[in-house]
Amino acid sequence: MTEQQRLHIDRYEKRWIKISIATLFVFAVFVLAAGFAFGFQVPGAYERVNPQTVTDSGAFAEPGLREISPGNYEAYITAQAFFYTPREITVPAGSKVTFYITSVDVQHGFKLQGTNINVMVVPGQVSTLSSTFEKPGEYDFICTEYCGAGHAAMSGKLIVEG
């Protein structure tokens, strides 16, 4: 092969290709560290349900708070135009709460103000996220997906008691 037939890559171009590849590795390390070392989580699609029958039986038949073990709660919440059931949840400070939320009609949102809890609530799907609430206070949860005329008024409240 003569010198002319070889693919010529400029010295600087070669350097930037290497830097680009190194950048991908660095980002991959960040993503893995966020997920495994720091516990970042993406809102999960926990399970598929039938929105027409989800409140007939099972956990969503009686939405609300359940204490699984001391300081460890599960909150089952249904969203519908234009309210959440239950509208209000109270836990003691230091509690870990895992939210299970589903919609019985159209797409809604669930954003817990002042926390990183923010998830889409899609009919037919159970969204889940958990968080530990160390600081006493009142946290409003609001609907973040336009769901109709009453969307702006769709809200509820998590009360963390000191």
Q: Residues in the site for ligand CUA, rule: CB under 6 A?
A: 82, 108, 143, 145-147, 151, 154
Closest approach of ligand CUA to the CB of residue 71, in Å = 30
Closest approach of ligand CUA to the CB of residue 147, in Å = 3
Q: Which is nearer to ligand CUA, 45 or 81 (CB)?
A: 81
Closest approach of ligand CUA to the CB of residue 133, in Å = 23
**Cα separation values, 13 from 3, 24, 105, Å:** 19, 17, 54
Closest approach of ligand CUA to the CB of residue 67, in Å = 28
**27: preceding bond cis by omega (within 30 degrees):** no
The DSSP call for residue 10 is: -
Q: Which is nearer to ligand CUA, 151 or 157 (CB)?
A: 151
Q: Which residues fall within 8 angstroms of residue 101, CB to CB, at 6 or more apart?
A: 76, 77, 78, 79, 110, 119, 121, 126, 127, 128
Q: Which is nearer to ligand CUA, 75 or 147 (CB)?
A: 147
Give the SS3 label for residue 140: strand
